[in-house]
Amino acid sequence: MSALRLLAALSLTAALATPAMADDDRPPTAEERTAIEAKLRAEGFVRWEDIELDDGLWEVDDAVTRDGREYDLKLRPGTLEIVRRDLDD
């Protein structure tokens, strides 16, 4: 692995592993967005709306699965584990 790729991977890992402050409401960086979107695709989502860090969790609005179901999601910043999945009616 080239030194530049290794540095980029380490930077992304550090950014994702950094604990979020409860009042740290913000959109994701480009690197965070890339990682979050990869996780969403791996979980079967095909599109989504807003992504923002809010109250210490990533919030993804209107995430749509392949079968057309729409959810609001909350993901843990360090692992991107989906910790809450609310079906939109």
Helix 3-17 vs helix 30-42: angle between axes, to the nearest 10 degrees? 80
Number of CB atoms found within 10 A of residue 40's CB: 22
Using one digit for the tens of pLDDT, what is the confidence trace for 44-56? 999 999 999 999 9
User: Would you place residue 24 in the very low, low, confident or very high pLDDT band (cuts 50, 70, 90)?
Assistant: confident
Contact status, residue 77 vs residue 28, Cβ threshold 8 Å: no
Using one digit for the tens of pLDDT, what is the confidence trace for 31-46? 999 999 999 999 999 9
Contact status, residue 48 vs residue 61, Cβ threshold 8 Å: yes
pTM for the full predicted model: 0.73
User: Would you place residue 16 in the very low, low, confident or very high pLDDT band (cuts 50, 70, 90)?
Assistant: low
